């Protein structure tokens, strides 16, 4: 029982990370119907840049905003190089391939800069667990949950309360109409990519102290977060949190009771099944196709 509670706690922390990355998918999908296939690599870059900053003596808490800025710039670059030309020629294949290509380039650059081996990320909080409901919880796990929720809440508030946020929501509802109303939709899309990569980079520095950091950490995380985005529905904010937590717990249970080698399987299988059965996700609405 104790083990189970503990697995559930660490599952929730992991699940929140998935939710943040999935949130990033939602942001870009909302404004431009596109996704960054290199989202996992944005997370990895965020974590590694954070590690370097910490290594240079920057305080962990001070490092977070710096990494966020880096993430935002990286996202804007992806949008300018990879997505905008494809949107101009209305090529779905184009943005899929170019975001994949950019992801590969980022990963390869990271390999060459930081090496092939996984690195330990120093924990900013005490590494001794706190006892809670009879289970051990790492302070870092609590930070992950809090950080993830704050991040998502901040973006939601921004979208709802500010005029800039209204432009984002307008672009989400109808890109062409928004453009005709004088909104610079191109800028909004760039902005959504910046936000998206920023949240991924933040997720990276949040999870890094719990796992190891390295150039390969992003790929599978990005894919499983996509599973979460699909399960939650690409338009539902609550859905991704629920989806993330379900997946996080499922993974921890699989890893403990079956084998850590199979840990990634539940998320991937879930993705296959959900897309084969209910593509709009558990929380999303099915779109009516028009002819």
Partner 1 sequence: MKSRPLLLAAIGLALLVGFPFVVANPYYIHLAQTIAIYAILLFGLDIVVGYTGQVSLGHAGLFGIGAYTAGVLFMKFGAPLLLTLVAGVAVTAVFGALLALPALRVTGPYLAMVTLAFGTIVQILINEMTDLTNGAMGITLQRPRLLGVTLDERGYYFVICGLLVASLVVVHRILRSHLGRAFEALRGSPVASDCMGVSVYRYKVYAFVISAGLAGLAGSLYAYSEKYISPNTWNFELTVLLLLAIIMGGRKTRSGALLGAAIIVILPKLLDDLDLFRTVSVTLAALVTAGAAVQVARGKTTVARSAIPVIGSVALAVLSFVLTSMTDWRLSIFGLITLLVVYYLQDGILGFVRQTLGWRGHGASDAAAAATLPPPASAVSTAASQPATSAAQDLVAADKVLMQFGGLKALNDVALHVARGTIHGLIGPNGSGKSTMMNVLTGIYVPTAGSIAFKGQSIVGRTSSRIALAGIARTFQNVQLFGEMTALQNVLVGLHHTYRSNLLDVALHLPRYLREERAATARAYALLKFVGLEDLAGEEARNLPYGKQRLLEIARALALNPELLLLDEPAAGLTAPDIKELVVIIRKIREHGITLILIEHHMDVVMSVCDVVTVLDFGQKIAEGTPAAVQADPQVIKAYLGGELDASAAH
Binding site for partner 1 (CB under 8 A): 34-35, 37, 81-82, 85-86, 89, 91-94, 96-98, 100-105, 107-109, 111-112, 219-220, 223, 226-227, 230, 259, 261-262, 264-265, 268-269, 271-272, 275-277, 279, 288-289, 291
> What is the rounded (10 degree) CA torsion for 208, 209, 214, 218?
-20
Task: Kindly give, in sequence order, each residue whose CB lies less than 8 Å from that of residue 203, ignoring residues fewer than 6 positions away.
Answer: 17, 20, 21, 43, 46, 148
Nearest distance from C-beta of residue 97 to partner 1, angstroms: 5
Count of H helices and E strands in the chain?
12, 4
Task: Kindly give, in sequence order, each residue whose CB lies less than 8 Å from that of residue 15, ignoring residues fewer than 6 positions away.
Answer: 228, 241, 244, 245, 246, 247, 248, 249
Nearest distance from C-beta of residue 226 to partner 1, angstroms: 5
Measured from the CB atom, is 9 or 29 closer to partner 1? 29
Pairing of strands 135-137, 212-213: unpaired
Measured from the CB atom, is 109 or 242 closer to partner 1? 109
Distance separating alpha carbons of residues 153 and 139, to the nearest angstrom: 21
Q: Given CA atoms 6, 45, 151, 53 in this order, what sign does their dihedral have? A: positive
Nearest distance from C-beta of residue 15 to partner 1, angstroms: 18
Distance separating alpha carbons of residues 168 and 187, to the nearest angstrom: 10
Measured from the CB atom, is 163 or 288 closer to partner 1? 288
Distance separating alpha carbons of residues 2 and 149, to the nearest angstrom: 26
Measured from the CB atom, is 8 or 81 closer to partner 1? 81
Measured from the CB atom, is 211 or 216 closer to partner 1? 216
Among the listed residues 183, 180, 189, 149, the one whose alpha carbon sits nearest the alpha carbon of residue 163: 183
Measured from the CB atom, is 41 or 141 closer to partner 1? 41
Nearest distance from C-beta of residue 123 to partner 1, angstroms: 29
DSSP string, 125-147: S--SPEEETTEEE-HHHHHHHHH
Distance separating alpha carbons of residues 35 and 137, to the nearest angstrom: 34
Measured from the CB atom, is 58 or 101 closer to partner 1? 101
Nearest distance from C-beta of residue 224 to partner 1, angstroms: 9
Nearest distance from C-beta of residue 108 to partner 1, angstroms: 4
């Amino acid at each position: 029982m104790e083990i189970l509670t503990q697995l559930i706690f660490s599952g929730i922390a992991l699940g929140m990370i998935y939710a943040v990355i999935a949130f990033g998918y939602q942001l870009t999908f909302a404004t431009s119907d596109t996704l960054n296939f290199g989202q996992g690599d944005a997370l990895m870059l965020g974590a590694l840049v954070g590690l370097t900053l910490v290594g240079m003596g920057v305080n962990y808490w001070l490092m977070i905003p710096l990494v966020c800025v880096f993430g935002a710039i990286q996202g804007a670059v992806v949008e300018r190089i990879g997505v905008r030309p494809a949107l101009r020629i209305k090529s779905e294949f184009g943005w899929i391939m170019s975001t994949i290509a950019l992801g590969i380039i980022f990963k390869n650059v990271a390999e060459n800069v930081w090496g092939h081996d996984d690195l330990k990320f120093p924990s900013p909080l005490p590494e001794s667990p706190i006892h809670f409901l009879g289970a051990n919880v790492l302070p870092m796990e609590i930070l992950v949950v809090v950080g993830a929720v704050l991040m998502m809440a901040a973006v939601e508030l921004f979208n709802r309360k500010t005029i800039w946020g209204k432009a984002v929501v307008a672009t989400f509802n109808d890109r062409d109409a928004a453009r005709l109303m004088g909104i610079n939709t191109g800028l909004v899309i760039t902005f959504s990519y910046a936000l998206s990569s920023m949240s991924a980079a933040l997720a990276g520095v949040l999870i890094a102290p719990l796992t190891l950091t390295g150039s390969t950490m992003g790929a599978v995380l990005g894919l499983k977060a996509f599973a979460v985005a699909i399960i939650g529905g690409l338009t539902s904010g609550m859905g991704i949190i629920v989806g993330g937590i379900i997946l996080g717990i499922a993974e921890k249970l699989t890893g403990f009771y079956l084998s850590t080698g199979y840990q990634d399987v539940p998320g991937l299988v879930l993705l296959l099944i959900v897309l084969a059965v209910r593509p709009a996700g558990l929380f999303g609405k099915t779109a009516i196709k028009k002819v």
